[in-house]
Amino acid sequence: MLPGDKSISHRYAMLAGFAEGTSRLMNFSTGEDPHSSLGCMQAMGAKVETVGRTIEVTGTAGVLAQPVGNLDCGNSGSTMRMLAGLVAAQAGLYRFVGDESLTVRPMERIRKPLEQMGARIELTEGHAPMTVRGTPLTAIDFETPIASAQVKTAVLFAGLQAKGTTSIAEQVRTRDHSEHALRAFGARLERKGDRLSIVGGQKLRAIDATVPGDMSSAAFFLCASLLFEDSNLVLDALGMNPTRAALLDVISAMGGVIKVLDVQETYGEMVGTIQVNRGKTLRGIEIAGTLAAQLIDELPVIAAIAPYTDGGVRIRDAKELRVKESDRIALVVKNLRTMGAEVTEHEDGMDIPGGQKLRGGVIDSGLDHRIAMAFSIAALRAEGETEIRGAEAASVSFPEFYTWLDELAIR
């Protein structure tokens, strides 16, 4: 079973820490980022205990304590952005810090809507460190200027505590894990078309839940299965949320043959078992517009296998890749060229011709987990040995990645 979904684990950690009672979270993500969220909740009064493979979180019943020191978000932008919404209505002062890469990631995007609600937020030239001074909030009607599930979540978490009904309209539908998680913990939300609303003053209650396997982690092995004609990959208990399932459509379009062997629903999340084989050819694809937003985390590994396709891969409308843990467009282009590929860089994407052969080389991960893992997959069919510098960055989201890769490669 894949490690628990990173996005869902973040949200469960925060809401469990905010709810009344003790939540039991099975298959919680083993990645460092969601554990940063757990650590921050613990610093604000939640009790966290590991019992075997279960994380038990006793919440604060909606009243967070002012932390003694800084809230350390590590490498996790998700932790910093979403928790800003949760603490904005709480009494006290909350100072968020993180590692070097987190201090250059944009935080202005969450300050604007939260300040419209009455929050007081101080940034350092638009970035972390970030200080939030808690204050009573008032509901707003907010239209998201960018496709960001983290911004939406920050506003929902603030709206949960605000006076009135907060509504959010999305131009591009983003991941809906926060909506499902809030409902799982007892909150009432309403969706009409592209507008989502939440009434303030609601209380949350603890849950027992199993976190589905992470689709973004699965992406690396799904792409690896496309590289070999005799591949046969079965993934159990995989999160198949429709707002994340665009990846499966892309794998099919590139030549993967996918069979859904089982599917069920748990707390609004679809969970299933899939089998993946490769067809006769590995086809190229164009990814742009809404699809690029839906696949923003998976684009590096799709790009990394693009030279092996017959028609190449064209990526556009993915400028958000430049403000992740690294400039992922620049690093993908740099590393593909290191491996001998022809690639054209654009401000919002890249063009990677197909029919190319890659050779081993020294890969610069930029200490970015998705770059390290993506080029480990590209290296599977490269001629010669590939060295991934900063390979340990994979532990941010998937500490078991290299063990899994070894096992699957042997099979």
**Which residue from 302, 300, 283 is spatially nearest to 354, judged by alpha carbons?**
283
Largest CA distance in the chain: 62
Given 33, 176, 214, 297, the catalytic residue:
297
Closest CA to 166 of 85, 268, 93, 82: 85
Count of Cβ atoms closer than 10 Å to residue 334 Cβ: 16
> Rounded to whole angstroms, how far apart are CA atoms 31 and 391?
14
Say how far residue 256 (Cα) sits from the centre of its chain: 23
Contact (Cβ atoms closer than 8 angstroms) between residue 19 and residue 87:
no
Measured CA to CA, the distance from residue 373 to residue 382 in angstroms comes to 15
The 3-state DSSP composition of the chain as helix, strand, coil percent (nearest 5) reads 35, 25, 35
Q: Which two tokens stand for residue 81?
A: 């952005």
The Cα 233–Cα 324 span in angstroms is: 29
3-state secondary structure of 173: coil
Q: Is 297 a catalytic residue?
A: yes
Instruction: Name the H helices within 174-270.
Output: 177-184, 215-226, 246-253
Q: Which two tokens stand for residue 168?
A: 């959010």
Structure-token pair, residue 58: 């006793």
Question: Alpha-carbon dihedral of residues 291, 293, 295, 296, nearest 10 degrees?
Answer: 150
Catalytic positions: 297
